[in-house]
Amino acid sequence: MYWTLELASRLEDAPWPATKDELIDFGIRSGAPLEVIENLQEIEDEHEVFESIEDIWPDYPSKEDFFFNEDEY
């Protein structure tokens, strides 16, 4: 399983909290790339409820990770 920022961003609008099956269903319905569906299928715990993308990919960058000042624009 590998995640990139582009792949993980496809799950930002997922209905959190969600189970593995709900995320796979969301990925299919939203037209996510096959790699996203394959990564979700590789999750081992079938019944765990994930609160956010960080539960799946702990290295997912948050808004604080970017040095972008929204007030300047």
Question: Tell me: the pLDDT tens digits for 6-62?
Answer: 898 899 899 999 999 999 999 999 999 999 999 999 998 878 999 999 898 888 776
**Does residue 58 have a cis bond before it (omega within 30 degrees)?**
no
pTM, 2 dp: 0.80
Spatial separation of the C-alpha atoms in residues 56 and 9, rounded to whole Å: 12
Three-state SS at 60: coil
pLDDT of residue 33: 95
The first and second tokens of residue 5, run together, are 């920022």
Report residue 2's pLDDT band, with 50, 70 and 90 as the boundaries.
Answer: confident
Q: Which residues of 2-34 are buried (b: 16+ CB within 10 A; e: fewer)?
A: ebeeebbebbeebebebebebbbbbbeeeebee
